[in-house]
Amino acid sequence: MQCRTLGARPSFHQSKFLVSRSQDVAFHIHPRFREGIVVRNSMIGGNWGQEEREMSMNPFMEGQYFDVSNISHARFKVFVNGQHLFDFFHRWQSFNEIDMLDIEGDVQISYIHF
C-alpha cells in the first residue's frame, strides 16, 4: 500500500489511526483528548516500541481537520490545521511491505490519496 496522504477530522470520542502490515504497526497515532496528549508508536514483531508523547499540547480538536503524509521512506509527517506538527520516523526498513490502513473510532475521512 502506498498511501501518500490521509485527511480526516476526529470527534471528541476515542480515535486511533494505524498504518500497518499484517500484525505489525508502522505508525500508531492516538490523540488522547482528555489527557491532552498525542501518543505515537509502532509495533514490530508483536512488541510495542517506545511511545513518543513529547509535545507542549495536544493540537487535535474535535472537528478540526488533520493530514498525515508519507513524504519519504524515512518518516510520516503530521499536519494539523495546515501546520506541521511532528515527524514520526519509520522504525523498520521494509516500508514497502505496509499493506493496511486501520482507522478506529469516530473519525470523518475527508480524503485518501495513493
Q: At residue 68, does pLDDT exceed 70?
A: yes
For residue 34, give every residue at least 6 positions away whose Cβ sits within 8 Å of its Cβ, in sequence order, or none. Answer: none
- For 10, counting Cβ atoms within 10 Å of its Cβ (0-12 exposed, 13-18 middle, 19+ buried), the class is buried
**Amino acid found at 78:** V
C-alpha cell, 73 = 521512506
Three-state secondary-structure class, residue 108: strand
CATH number of 5-113: 2.60.120.200
Three-state secondary-structure class, residue 97: helix
Per domain, the residue ranges of the chain are 5-113
Residue pLDDT, tens place only, 7-54: 666 665 555 555 555 677 888 888 777 787 888 898 888 888 999 988
* Mean pLDDT on 98-112: 73
Q: Which residue has the higher pLDDT, 77 or 8?
A: 77
Placement of cell 521494509 in the chain: 94
Q: Are 24 and 78 in contact (CB under 8 A)?
A: no
Which alpha helices (H) appear in the chain, and where do they start and end?
none
Residue 1 is predicted with a pLDDT of 42
Residue 2 is predicted with a pLDDT of 47
